[in-house]
A and B are shown apart, each in its own frame.
Chain A
């Protein structure tokens, strides 16, 4: 049997998280097929065909898939699921939205947010905000899995897969896209950035994030935030790093004015190098930081900026 990977894309481009999931899929036995479901998605289709290790790209190009509404995508995936032993998606907000729907329709359990594959039926996944790692064995005939993308390297883009057009129409008509407010940014995406600088409640207001932006420009970094900074309205929700925000693992994570609550650590403690700047020497963030600087951020960050 083959393995089906559901692509994350914006119709024009494939997101790097798809490449991470393809790498995860190479730990399983079988050809890897990638499903690109979208509308006017030939850009994404062409890129998917180049992902190394992919044998076949299935394309469902139709208006009802444009905004990845869970009801329609889930029905489509179920309709083509017969030949697959494993169905994998990245644990993005899209994947988290449609995959449990797919598994319930197939009457199988879902294994969420896996970080390692031990065998075709046994997986590791973090629970309790990453304070425990559970090894889970699943007995269903089909495995429906979401993948924590930071746990797997991205597959290269030097392949050339066969492309097959699907004639599948699934429009349940019970949900409708109205609008979206997607932040436009020249910075790298949080989940695939090499360097991240994040601000917390210690930043005091949204304006002060400018001092982080300047450092981010020099380091080619993405900007993140704690929940407190998002809840206080300093920055938008898509900046949130943590158990209930984005999970990141860059080479360098700089936490500024963040105390280091378990829920925040859950989202960044797999970073390669962690730097913490905090004026409270007892802040828990220092327990996970490789380099801690006990200082007022309003002097330390501009100084850091000047020295880069």
Chain B
């Protein structure tokens, strides 16, 4: 079985980003970049399927500028066999990313595509579902457990009320939730080996799809700030404040 894992280069999750002073966008000057945590989980799941003998080849793919090669190398160090950069310098929306990924799916014919459920910058939570729509494949989003059984995938999903298990026909699109697995750290020898693994670059334009943005960001502003609160000394003080000042309990 062949697995395709789309990954995204994002601001490291520890960084607290701020809007630019003129509100024209997000201030990303000199911030640390990393592979999106959910994508790391996707790579790990693919590697486990390969180690378990289910998968034979793992291809990591990203849509982005040439700087994203760094995150593809990370995926290769974690165990992907080869990588594809669909290169573009414009900021591409989920619909366009899904269209480009569909192009890659058509070329590579994977049996399984594993994506992150959301990128922690745009927080859109759209790409996997859109790719499923465009390819006509079934989708199993927010996965916390994945089993391949013959021509089907059995997936447990994290839903609002608890857990839901569905069975989907292969090929299918899976998106990862946080508890699917705990990704490994790349070892130094594997980081070295990753440098030798194949990384192909293809021009986004060569896939012949419309990637014009449909959304225009008019401004990016800071969220409303909360007034600084107070430290109470005792539980009695706390109860008193909640009853008589905030009036949120009786």
Distance in Å from the Cβ of A108 to the closest Cβ of chain B?
Answer: 7
Residues in chain B near residue A288, CB distance under 8 A: 226, 229
Indicate whether B94 reaches chain A with its CB closer than 8 angstroms.
Answer: yes
Q: B141 near A97 (CB under 8 angstroms)?
A: yes
A138 to chain B: closest residue by CB: B215
B125 x A181 contact (CB < 8 A)? no
Is A56 part of the contact surface with B, judged by Cβ < 8 Å? Answer: no
Whether, in the assembled complex, B133 has its beta carbon less than 8 Å from a beta carbon of chain A, the answer is: yes
In the complex, identify which listed stretch (B10-18, B50-58, B194-202) lies at the interface while the others stay far away.
Answer: B10-18
Provide the bound-state CA to CA distance between A35 and B216, in Å. 29
Question: Please, which residues of chain B bring their CB within 8 A of the CB of A181?
Answer: 162-164
C-alpha spacing A195/B134, complex, angstroms: 42
Inter-chain contact A244/B129, CB cutoff 8 Å? no
- Asked if A132 contacts B133 (CB within 8 A), the reply is no
Contacts A127-B26, A273-B246: A180 and B236 contacting too (C-beta < 8 A)? no
Query: Nearest chain A CB to B134's CB is how many angstroms away?
Result: 5
| Smallest Cβ-Cβ distance to A113: which chain B residue | B123
- Which residues of B are at the interface with A, using a C-beta cutoff of 8 A? 11, 13, 16-19, 26, 93-95, 98, 117-118, 120-134, 137-142, 144, 154, 157-169, 172, 177-179, 213-223, 226-232, 234-236, 238-239, 241-242, 246, 248-249
Q: Are A244 and B178 touching (Cβ within 8 A)?
A: yes
A101 CA to B134 CA in the complex, in Å? 8
Report the Cα distance A294→B235, complex, angstroms. Answer: 10
Query: For window 54-84 of chain A, which residues contact chain B by CB distance below 8 Å?
Result: 67, 69-71, 74
Q: A286-B231, A291-B241 are in contact. Are A269 and B123 (CB under 8 A)?
A: no
Q: Which of B16, B124, B172, B177 has the most CB of A within 10 A?
A: B124
A294 to B231, CA, bound (A): 8
Residues of A120-139 at the interface with B, using a CB-CB cut-off of 8 Å, are 122, 126-139
Give the residues from 139 to 157 in chain A that come closer than 8 angstroms, CB to CB, to chain B.
139-140
The SS class assigned to the A binding surface is mixed
Residues of A within 8 A of B139 (CB): 70-71, 97, 101, 175
- Please name all residues of chain A whose beta carbon is closer than 8 Å to the beta carbon of B239 when the two chains form the complex: 304, 307-308
Which listed residue, A98, A136, A172, A291, touches B230 by the CB 8 Å rule? A291
Contact yes or no, A177 B164, CB < 8 A? yes
Cα–Cα, bound, A46→B150 (Å) = 43
- Cross-interface CB contact of B246 among A94, A96, A290, cutoff 8 Å: A290
Residue A117 interfacial (CB < 8 Å): no
In the complex, what distance in Å separates the CA atom of A293 from the CA atom of B26?
34
Answer whether residue A211 sits at the interface, using C-beta atoms and an 8 A cutoff: no
Closest to B19 in A: A132
Q: Are A132 and B221 in contact (CB under 8 A)?
A: yes
Chain A: minimal CB distance from B124 (Å)? 5
For A191, the chain B residues whose CB sits under 8 A away are 160
A110 to chain B, nearest CB (A): 5
Q: How many residues of A contact B (CB 8 A)?
A: 89
Contact flag A293-B231 (CB < 8 Å), given A109-B94, A128-B120: yes
Chain A residues with CB under 8 Å of B26's CB are 127-128, 132
A131-B223, A139-B216 are known contacts. Are A262 and B16 too (CB-CB below 8 A)? yes
Stretch from A26-34, A37-45, A162-170, A229-237 at the B interface: A229-237
A195 in contact with B248 given A178-B154, A237-B158 (CB within 8 Å)? yes
Do B162 and A289 touch across chains, with their CB atoms under 8 A apart? no
Distance in angstroms from A243 CB to nearest chain B CB is 7
User: In the assembled complex, which residues on chain A have CB atoms less than 8 Å from the CB atom of B216?
Assistant: 136-139
- In the assembled complex, which residues on chain B have CB atoms less than 8 Å from the CB atom of A274? 226, 229
Inter-subunit contact B144/A175 (CB<8 Å): no
Contacting residues, chain A, for B222 (C-beta < 8 A): 131-133
Q: Are the CB atoms of A130 and B223 closer together than 8 Å?
A: yes
Least Cβ distance of B243 to chain A in Å? 10
Give the distance in Å from the alpha carbon of A128 to the alpha carbon of B122 in the complex: 6
Q: Which residues of A232-274 have CB atoms within 8 Å of chain B's CB atoms?
A: 236-238, 243-244, 246, 251-252, 262-263, 269, 272-274
A135, A244, A294: most-surrounded residue (chain B CB, <10 A)? A244
**B178 near A231: Cβ-Cβ < 8 Å:** yes
Complex CA distance for A180 and B215, rounded to whole angstroms: 37
Interface string of A87-121 (1 = CB under 8 A from B): 00000111011111111110111111100000000
- B248 & A269 in contact (Cβ 8 Å cutoff): no
> Is residue A206 within 8 Å, beta carbon to beta carbon, of the partner chain?
no
Q: Are A140 and B214 CB-contacts (below 8 A) given A175-B166, A183-B162, A238-B162?
A: yes
Q: Is A159 an interface residue (CB 8 A)?
A: no
CB distance from B96 to the nearest CB of A (A): 9
CB of A202 within 8 A of chain B? no
**B123 contacts which of A127, A176, A251, A252 (Cβ < 8 Å)?**
A127
Starting from the known contacts A134-B220, A136-B217, A139-B216, 14 additional A-B residue pairs (CB-CB under 8 Å) come to A93-B142, A103-B126, A110-B126, A113-B123, A128-B17, A132-B222, A238-B159, A244-B118, A252-B248, A273-B248, A291-B232, A304-B235, A307-B236, A307-B239
